[in-house]
Amino acid sequence: MNRTYEYRGYAIQVSVEANGSVPLERSEIKRPLYPRYAAMVRIAANDPSVFPAQALKVGDAAGLPFNSDIDALMGGYSAACRLIDDKLAGSAA
């Protein structure tokens, strides 16, 4: 799944990659294996030195893969928006 969004003059490209079945690290918790997802995020700007050209891999707030592809898509978008806001706040100071 790939999506492109526009935010504050930047193009945000988010793609979702499935990590396959990831076992839990804690063996005492019995849960079935299930597919997990990560978001790959690129932010395109007029000046390529503003954001890295390589994609950033994004997980959830705990640093773990997302439970669904939709969560990964929206999580990647939200992370990119925060990066852009931080960059704009830093350049205004």
User: What is the pLDDT averaged over residues 50-59?
Assistant: 80
For the chain, give every domain's residue range. 2-22+32-92
Identity of the residue numbered 22: V
Residue among 1, 5, 4 nearest 15 (CA): 1
Pull the structure tokens for residue 1.
């799944």
Q: How far apart are CA 42 and CA 4, in angstroms?
A: 9
Q: pLDDT band at 36, cuts 50/70/90?
A: confident
**Weakest-pLDDT range from 14-18, 31-35, 53-57:** 31-35
Q: Mean pLDDT for the chain?
A: 82
Q: At a CB cut-off of 8 Å and minimum separation 6, what does 12 contact?
A: 4, 5, 6, 41, 42, 43, 44, 77, 80, 81, 84
**CA–CA gap between residue 69 and residue 31 (Å, rounded):** 20
